[in-house]
Every structure is written in C-alpha cells, then in structure tokens.
Structure 1
Amino acid sequence: MALNDEVAFLSMTPVFKGFERDALRRLALSAQTRLLRAGEVLYRQGDPAEGGFVIMSGRIDIESALDGKKFLAGAGDLLGELSLIIETQWPSTAIVRDSASVMRISRSLMLRILAEFPASAVACRDVFARRLGRMSSELEEIRQVLL
C-alpha cells in the first residue's frame, strides 16, 4: 500500500480520525507492516501488549479464554487501543482467519507522535474521554438495575 493510501486508511480509524495529516504520515512511515498467514497467532491472552495493530486487510478472530466470547475483526479495526498509551496485557488471543496485513504501532511511537503533535493528542484524548463517559453511564445503568 502506498504511503498516501496508508495515511488515508489511518484517518478513517476512529482513534486517529482527528489526527493531523503530518502525524498520520509519521505514524505510517514509522509503523511496521506485517503480512500474516491464516492460522497464525498475532498475540496471546496474557502476553504484554506493547502497542496496537491496525488491520489493513484480512480478518482476525479474537477470542477470550476468560468468558469464551469471540468476535471477528477486519480491515479498519484497531486492536489494542489502550495499549497504545499504557502498559497492559492482551485480554484475548488473536488468530488470523484469512491471510491478513496489519500495521503495528508501538506504544513508544504513539507517545512520540502525541508529544510532537499536540492537536493530535487532544483529538486522541477526546476519543478516549467520550468512550470513558459512555462506559461510566452504562455502569451507572447497571448499578441502578442491581439496586
């Protein structure tokens, strides 16, 4: 995929949607692209998550051993959003269903981008703040049901 195509692709991913074009360009240039075969394990539950993966093509099965839940991730999905900014472990195992291409964005790269591009950092903060607000509301609704 050409650099401009990668930048356009990243700009459609919710976490990166509000990023400055130069920030997206730096991400695309510095990230590692990996080609994966069907059946290959991208990561295992409990392993340290040192960044995230944007699925560029193909499909990946995500499975949690804790609750048995499964879902299918595909092109445009970002796996490991939280691990882009904090140390964490993978909460699930990701196994490639079809051959796939992913862009690996390390935490150190993401933090460098956020430091160098303040407007992108604000956009990223806003995405996470909205999600946290929704989660808080959902938890309050559950609490009300349980009382």
Structure 2
Amino acid sequence: MSLRLPTGSVTVLLGPSVHRRRTMNRLDDTTGRDPVGRRAAVLRVRAREADPVADRLATVASVRGGIAAVVLVDRLTDGLGSRDRGRVLAALRGVAADGTAVLVDDVDPVAALAVADGALRVDDRGGIEPEELAYLAS
C-alpha cells in the first residue's frame, strides 16, 4: 500500500474500526520513503490495554527526535480513560513538531482529532481519501 503523509503533521484515520485496523495492518514498517524517494525509517508504536499511561508516554517520548520519518500510532490509547487518552494523544504533537509524519489509528478517533492536522477516511474496500476537517479549513 502506498500512502503519502505530510511531514510535521498528525494525521488521524477515520472510518469504521475494522477498516482502520485493516489499513494499519497493511502498512509495511520497512518501506517508508522521504519526499524525494529515499528510504526513510518507520516506527510503529502500540500498547497493551494493561500498560500504564506512564509507559505509553515514555514510548511517545522515545520516538521524539529519533531517526523515524514516519511513526505509525497503532491503538496506543486502548484501555485508557479520556483524561489519560488525551495526555498520550497530546504528546504526539511533539513528535510531529520534530518533523515526523504521524499516522494515528485510535480507539477514539474523535479524541485523536483534537491533536490532528489532518485526517484520512478509510472505506470498506480499503480505499483511503483525505477528509476535510471544517475546523482546520479557516
């Protein structure tokens, strides 16, 4: 699957959960490319439901300023309450601020939109289209 993500941005996947999962599972952690076509490092971060919020925040901190051009955030907030989910998602802004493209599939995509620069909608055929976010269009 070929997907172009803007650098320095947080992009959220929208659409039915099962289709977002399939999309994330199809993304290859080894085939990232930078804007001029050179190989670029890709990291995938995820957590188990039982992982404490401190561990998840440490995971996000560990990818800041690193070698990754793309960070795939794969349900990193599963099992967290809304306050802690917001803290983990907000930490992703720092990753993007370092110039990294961040793609988020979250159990609560609406919460993820609070930190998003953009969104992609996944359909039942595996298609991906940009989603216009009215609050970003001004």
What is the TM-score with the length of structure 2 in the denominator?
0.27
Larger CA Rg, structure 1 vs 2: 1
What is the TM-score with the length of structure 1 in the denominator?
0.26
